[in-house]
Structure 1
Amino acid sequence: MNWYVLYTKPKWEKKVAEQLQAIGIDCYCPLVIKERQWSDRKKKVEMPLFNSYVFVHLDEKDRSLVFQSPGAVRYLFWLQKPAIVREDEIATIKKWLNAPDVAEIEVSSYQVGDTIEVDSGPFVNHKAVVQKVTNSHYILVLESMGYVLKIKHK
């Protein structure tokens, strides 16, 4: 079984994950808590880490089952093949989101030619591919998806 990246309708990530779990499909929608400002108040809300993406864990032959959810649009492709996320990358995302010293996470597009190096910090010798660790940020490169996770720690 592989982890595939399912593209969803905008703002449907959590709904799609719930619908897929209801029909017995193993899926993961990484969520982060962000503070949002309204005109009269501030509120902390749970938001998907990846806009319009949900990770699904299933066999190649079962890939069409996800379209039972009306919010599922298509699979993400990378180099003309369905994007497959390695198990250790999913584990790294889960570990980082549960880390007590992570204050803020931001996702941006992968930049070709970035120097990837881990030489200090709590993720040294980790199997994830990390670009750099500074005094305020960790940067994790998810090569199979073409993303860079920028994680701000306290």
Structure 2
Amino acid sequence: MVVHTMSRTVVLGVIGSDAHVVGITILEQAFSAAGFTVINLGVQSSQTEFAEAAVTHDAEAVLVSSLYGHAEQDCQGFHDVLEDHGVDAVTYIGGNLSVGQGDFEQTRETFEALGFDRVFDAETGPEEAIAALKRDLHITTTEHERATVTT
């Protein structure tokens, strides 16, 4: 197993017609503080914009946020677009992904079937997503990094 140290690039944005900016602002700050290089596409980003940014910045992860409840429609074919652009990155999605989201396990299964590696609900804190990404990318913290991190 190859073990990597920081810094890693992630592409972050809000997909489709969603204009909710607060969540990605919090995520950008949290992922940056955790040592990631964050390319923030902002709101109302297209699938192609995510793919092109991932290619341009050689991103290892694509993080999609959606809060207005229509993510399933916005993400139809998303992984095909990534594949067409040659993107080989971990993909996460999180937020209020469906209107009247009752059974999150069903929502998780829907988005995993669409190709997402991890699916988070709106209650998930950034630290949980950061920890998952570090595991998925096999990122370890060196002794020096642990000694210089302040809490």
Same fold (TM over 0.5): no
The structure carrying a bigger strand percent of its residues is 1
Q: Which has the higher helix share?
A: 2
TM-score (norm 2): 0.29
Structure whose alpha-carbon radius of gyration is higher: 1
